[in-house]
Amino acid sequence: MTGRVRIVIVGGSFGGLATAYELRRHLGPERAEITLVAKDDQFRFVPSFPWVAMGRRSLEQISFSLAGPLANKHVAFAHETVTGVDTENKVVATSGTEHPYDFLVVATGHRSANEAVEGLGPFDGPGHSPMSAGETTELAKAIRALLTDPGPVVVGAAPGASCIGPVYELAFELDHLLRRRKLRHRVPMTVLTPEPFLGHMGMGGAGKIRQLLEGALEERDVVYRTSVAITKITAETVETEGASPTPSLLSIVIPPLAGVDAVAKSPGLANPKGFIPVDDHYRHQTADGVYAVGVAVALPPVGDTPVPVNFPKTGHMTEQMAGIAARDLAARVEGREGTTAELSARCVLDMGDRGAYMAVDPVRPPRDQIPTVSEGRRWLYAKQAFERAYLFSARRGQKMPTALGW
């Protein structure tokens, strides 16, 4: 393409920010005018939401304002809410204005489909989930209340959930917190998961993670049930299909995810769940010039399970998608096609007093390599160091570390 291309990125989290930085490495301001549109003016390090819930971090400690770092990269920042995308005329509409584009990258993440479980709040029901800053703040309040008035706790995921890692992290972290306060004996804890076995995580499991999680929950006296369909949360129970209700004063349930309304309702952009169908380069399958990365992308589950569990889209995977999409987009501007790669996943699970490291390559089985699973206190330190390193780099517009620690 000749002339200066107009690139619009929607979303200012892992997917949007990584795409903006990577695009700028390939296309200077004379070659591309880049605008990032996001409804939140803050970047938040979402993997630390469980630490915010436990009172170990404030939201401020894991956030920074997007405007400065983007300006340093000569990326225009529009703090606006996108209301729709016209893929025929190549225009993004927001609450205030319109952004015409030659290329569009959608990185709008998810909408929590809380309607899947009656009572899943926290604003309109007793159930909690840490899927956004506001919900995490409410969960932090509920955990403080539990410390003064202990009672049974359920941590789980709803049928169709895809973000299962935080279920384990929240259970282990809460167990650890309660033990430190000498309150654990007053809090029966239950993990309820739609997974057919612990550690399936929507990717068919990973090496010995199942055995590790079973042992770790059992030694901590956390009861667990698999292939569970949570149907309803009340102030005192969690109801599931085919079993009697589990008593629970604090119920933390990860919902299934859907695409955000602006994407779901834009003609020709998304599938019925609101996720965007893409090819190997994260290009839209039909809409010209459109890419999608991160949680906004449609990725099929690994297979049938008795209770539905969806394919994970982690922060680490989101960054890989952003890299592939940005390099392909930059190559297309120069009249070439970019390279692509299968997604791998590395993540560290906080287990309270230690961490568990998991590496799968590729994410979708079968795999040539046996997944790495390792447990130890060093992984907890690695996760904390990674959070700091990521925020340090992202704030300065530098390439974020993607290897260890997620």
Give the catalytic positions in this structure.
163, 347
Write out the DSSP string of 308-336.
Answer: --PPP--HHHHHHHHHHHHHHHHHHHTT-
Q: Cα–chain-centroid distance for residue 217?
A: 23
CB of 39 to ligand FAD, least distance (A): 4
Between CA 85 and CA 263 the distance in angstroms is 7
Q: Looking at beta carbons only, is 150 or 294 nearer to ligand FAD?
A: 294
Q: In terms of C-beta distances under 8 Å and separation of at least 24 residues, what long-range contacts does 276-281 make, across chains too?
A: 276/106, 280/340, 281/324, 281/325, 281/328, 281/337, 281/338, 281/340
Q: Is the peptide bond before 306 cis (omega within 30 degrees of 0)?
A: no
**Separation CA 26–CA 329 (nearest Å):** 10
Cβ distance 221 to 190 under 8 Å?
A: no
CB of 81 to ligand FAD, least distance (A): 4
Q: How far is the CB of 3 from ligand FAD (least distance, A)?
A: 27
Query: Which distant-in-sequence residues (6+ apart) come within 8 Å of 351 by Cβ?
Result: 168, 169, 172, 176, 216, 375, 380
The nearer residue to ligand FAD, 33 or 40, going by C-beta atoms, is 40
Residue 328 has φ and ψ, to the nearest 5°, of -70, -45
* C-beta closer to ligand FAD: residue 239 or 380: 380
Summarize as ranges the residues that interact with ligand FAD (CB under 6 A).
10-16, 37-40, 46-47, 49-50, 81-82, 107-110, 130-131, 163, 165-166, 260, 262, 294-296, 313-316, 318, 347, 406
> Least CB distance from residue 300 to ligand FAD, whole Å?
17
Write down the least CB distance from residue 19 to ligand FAD, Å. 9
> Which of residues 187 and 264 has its CB atom nearest to ligand FAD in the complex?
264
Task: Yes or no: say if 175 and 220 are a contact pair by the CB < 8 Å rule.
Answer: yes
Q: How far is CA 133 from CA 40, 62, 80, in A?
A: 11, 11, 18
- In the complex with ligand FAD, the residue whose CB is nearer, 20 or 217, is 20
The CA-atom distances, in angstroms, between 10 and each of 157, 185, 279, 379 are: 28, 47, 19, 33
Query: Min. distance of Cβ 323 from ligand FAD in angstroms?
Result: 13
| Residue found under tokens 């779901």 | 264
- Determine the 3-state secondary structure of 349 from DSSP: strand
- Cβ proximity to ligand FAD: between 295 and 400 the closer is 295
For residues 301 and 310, is the Cβ–Cβ distance under 8 A? Answer: yes
